[in-house]
Amino acid sequence: MNKLFQAVFIAAIVLLAGGCASRPELAARSAAVPPGVDLSGRWEMQGYAEEPDARQVEREQGIYLPPASTAGRRQQGPQRAGGIMRTKSPSVYVFIENGRSLKISQTGHGLFVSFDRSVVEEYTFGENRIVALGPIEAQRVSGWEGPMYIVETMDERGATLTETWALAGEGSLLVREVNIVDGDKQLYSSRQVFDRT
């Protein structure tokens, strides 16, 4: 009887530990700027067309905004509403910025990206911190992988927004790729090419 109790107790602990497993953490990225890589400049998007803003598309589908009373607390799993299981849309969409013209200033420690002269994003090389937009919080890491600058932002459910910035055409082009992945699902993908002006 004692061995049966021990086996049941150990199984319960294993199940409890598995159920309490936290979302994965993003791996830190290098703060060292590769020699000769400078993204600074004014950039104009090629073939600009009014593409739907990912945040607007997701908002129309019911983006999850935590209530003010739960801001700062992690939400676990799907919620029930009237006996019907609802899953939350990834909140990482709110961290996407887009613009036709960019102005990028690169310092020894980070990037300042101005989108259409209205929104400025600041990225610190090698950062690993919590960023917030209203009640939505996410983990952000950024840094260099070879000549490519990568910014990853992960929301509380584990959906990840990945932005990459890289020069092409001997420095006359800037290529920006934006992807959102939730588990094994690709939810959003965009590739933007900018000319130096």
pTM for this predicted structure: 0.71
Count of structural domains, the chain: 1
Residues 115, 103: contact at Cβ < 8 Å? no
Q: Is residue 99 part of a domain?
A: yes
The rounded percent of the chain whose pLDDT value lies above 70 is 68
Q: Is the pLDDT of residue 93 over 90?
A: yes
pLDDT at 73: 39
**CATH number of the domain that residue 38 is part of:** 2.40.128.20
Q: Is residue 161 part of a domain?
A: yes
Mean of the pLDDT values across residues 100-123? 96
171: domain range? 24-196
> What does the chain come to in residues?
197
Q: Is residue 13 part of a domain?
A: no
Tell me the C-alpha distance between 170 and 26, whole Å.
31
Q: Is residue 12 part of a domain?
A: no
- Name the pLDDT band for 29 (thresholds 50, 70, 90): very high
Q: Is residue 141 part of a domain?
A: yes
Q: Residue 28 gets which letter from DSSP?
A: P
Take residue 90 and report the two structure tokens written for it. Answer: 């990834």
Where do the DSSP E strands lie in the chain? 41-45, 79-81, 84-86, 101-106, 110-115, 119-124, 128-133, 136-145, 148-154, 160-168, 173-182, 185-196
Take residue 28 and report the two structure tokens written for it. Answer: 């830190």
Mean of the pLDDT values across residues 15-25? 55
Mean of the pLDDT values across residues 170-197? 96
Q: Is residue 1 part of a domain?
A: no
Q: Is residue 124 part of a domain?
A: yes
Residue for token pair 């699902």: 185
- Name the pLDDT band for 47 (thresholds 50, 70, 90): confident
The rounded percent of the chain whose pLDDT value lies above 90 is 64
Q: Is residue 134 part of a domain?
A: yes
